[in-house]
Amino acid sequence: MIYTLTANPAIDYHMDLTAGGFIPGAINRSEKEEMFPGGKGLNVSVILARLGAKSTAWAFAAGKTGKLLEALAAEKGCRCDFIWLPEGETRINVKLDCAQETAVNGRGPLPGPAQEEELWRRVKALGPGDTLVLSGNLHSGAGDLYAKICGICAERQVRTIVDTEGDALRGTFRAHPFLIKPNEEELLSLFGYSEGSPALLRELMSRCRGEGARNVLLTRGGEGALLLAQDGRFYEARLLRRRAAVSTVGAGDSTIAGFLAGLARGDDLADALRLACAAGCATAYTKWLADKEEIEAAARDIAVN
């Protein structure tokens, strides 16, 4: 079974201001409002469901907004098994869709000792054949959470997928995560670079593998994606036809889901990478997360070497 963890989920409340624009200090009226379940792990679970792969979404949730989040995620095909906080409210992120995209993201409640203990209980109940996706940034003060979880999973032969940045990412390497998925900026920053050539990117991916990551999947936006497999081989996914991006939110999460869905149905690494890149691209071409038909269409424009 695939499990996803969203440490600080949200309801993403979109307000369409494209017609009149956003004027600070004035009363602005939206043309349309939409609500989506927010959080990187939840995004992964939604795309997995759309590609026919089962998963269970874990998240820390609270209050009335937490119940609404659960309902929204279930509507999108997620099997939710949230860890409930006794106080507070799951955060709401307000997204103003206008010429200069503006957002106000909530802080969200902190889990207490009882909720953290429940998380540990769940992690320790996993075993061989299970996969746990750890994605997104953590609350301040929880910096080594992913490293601790990866350590437990390594002991229990659980595959871990890590999508975060900085010390939280590097701290997991000693537990040999099955896959890490940085983007270019995150990979360069991890080793103190601000920019770099394709050759440097490959070198840094190799350094990640040398420090313990078993597979490294690098997303490169319009340039496609690179995979360094645990056998040392590189795979490159290239876009044969590019389209203008509508929003890159959720594209990386979709990439992870596509890769896992490909492996779950028995694809080899090249085909799993094609599906991963297609899922990421298709989501970038849409306002929210892509559906199966959009992903399949995007896959026809991707070549893998």
Q: Which residues pair with residue 161 across a beta bridge?
A: 133, 179
Closest to 150 (Cα-Cα) out of 169, 121, 172 = 172
Catalytic residue among 144, 167, 253, 301: 253
Cα distances (angstroms) measured from residue 53 to each of 2, 4, 214, 261, 262: 8, 13, 23, 6, 9
253 catalytic per annotation? yes
Q: Which residues pair with residue 117 across a beta bridge?
A: none
Tokens of 39: 């959080």
102 φ/ψ angles, rounded to the nearest 5 degrees? -125, 140
Do 176 and 154 contact (CB within 8 A), yes or no? yes
Do 39 and 10 contact (CB within 8 A), yes or no? yes
Lookup result for tokens 């290239």? 238
Tokens of 122: 């769940």
Give the residue numbers marked as catalytic.
253
